[in-house]
Structure 1
Amino acid sequence: LEWANAHIRCRLALWRGVHFTDESWFSLYRADCRQRVWRCVGERFADVNVVKRVAHGDGGVMVWAGVCYGQLTQVHFIDGILNPQGYHDEILRPIVVPFIHDCHLILQHDNAPPHVAMICTQFLEAENIPVLAWPAYSPDTSPIEHVWDALDRRIRQCVPVPANIEQLRTAIEEEWTTGHNQHPDQLYAKEMCCTA
């Protein structure tokens, strides 16, 4: 609440200058318990009524990307667990720094351990990358969360639905780059982020 109160008077121009970034997990199978199955009495275990489930860690991919007003970064697939060195070497140095310098933006990333590790904070300071302070446990205030949700819905509507990891990666890249996902500009048109 303190963060929201401090930013409540921020103008749209400020938010248009922020590069919102985050990671998201995309699964081949619905593992979020949102899928419902309607069945008749006596059909409980019929194949048509059984939903495949895979524990988190199998059957999906972790993706990093960023959005700002008018632009999207490339998507980056994270193999394994993202650690500070990987965040520095695979994301900050090759993607974030050039993007922010070219567009003159402020970086927003959450307080995940790889993001706030010394190697990353010192690197961002050395590169003169301004970082927007972000409250802990507040993903819903970042527009990229809505973009991830829209992208996930688009992938689930693909025909055919991705059946393996390679198809899932291809679908994510295609949906991200073709602009069929909810473009972040639409989110800025709404009174975003700072309504306490």
Structure 2
Amino acid sequence: MVWGCFAASGPGRLAVINGTMNSAVYQKILKKNIRPSVCDLKLTRTWVLPQDNDPKHTSKFTSEWQKNSKMKILEWPSQTPDLNPIEMLWHDLKKVVHA
């Protein structure tokens, strides 16, 4: 499995995940990759992290950590995968890899 992020200014870091991703693994990925990606992409201090309602994203453990890390999270409506821009990016990446 792969975790990734992007902004209008380009792609951020990619993280390869071995095994199952849970709240603790998700937090490690964020700790290691979000701030460097924000710097690499030259984002301002007003960036917001959109994430869907996956349990590892919304768990009390992750929510507390994000709050303590002063991360701004975009609230996401339930069951709207068509609104998630990273899904389109993953689709394009899969097409290129399979070609």
TM-score (norm 1): 0.45
- Measured on the aligned residues, the alpha-carbon RMSD in Å equals 1.6
Q: Which fold has the larger relative contact order, with Cα–Cα distance below 8 Å and residues 6 or more apart in sequence?
A: 1
Residues in 2 aligned to 1:135 and 1:68: alpha-carbon distance in whole angstroms: 20
The answer as to 2:32 corresponding to 1:94 is: yes
Residues in 2 aligned to 1:99 and 1:75: alpha-carbon distance in whole angstroms: 9
Aligned residues: 95
The answer as to 2:95 corresponding to 1:153 is: yes
Structure 1 unaligned runs (5+)? Answer: 1-61, 158-196
Q: Which one has a bigger Cα radius of gyration?
A: 1
Match of 2:66 among 124, 129, 135: 124
TM-score (norm 2): 0.86
How do 1:162-177 residues align onto structure 2 when only pairs under 5 Å count? Answer: none
Residues in 1 aligned to 2:57 and 2:36: alpha-carbon distance in whole angstroms: 17
When you count helix as a share of all residues, which structure comes out higher? 2
Measured at CA, do residues 86 and 123 of structure 1 come closer, stay the same or move farther in structure 2, by a change above 3 Å?
Answer: same
The answer as to 2:13 corresponding to 1:74 is: yes
Look up the SS of the partner of 1:67 in the other structure.
Answer: strand
Q: 1:97, 1:127 within 8 Å by CA — same for their partners in 2? A: no
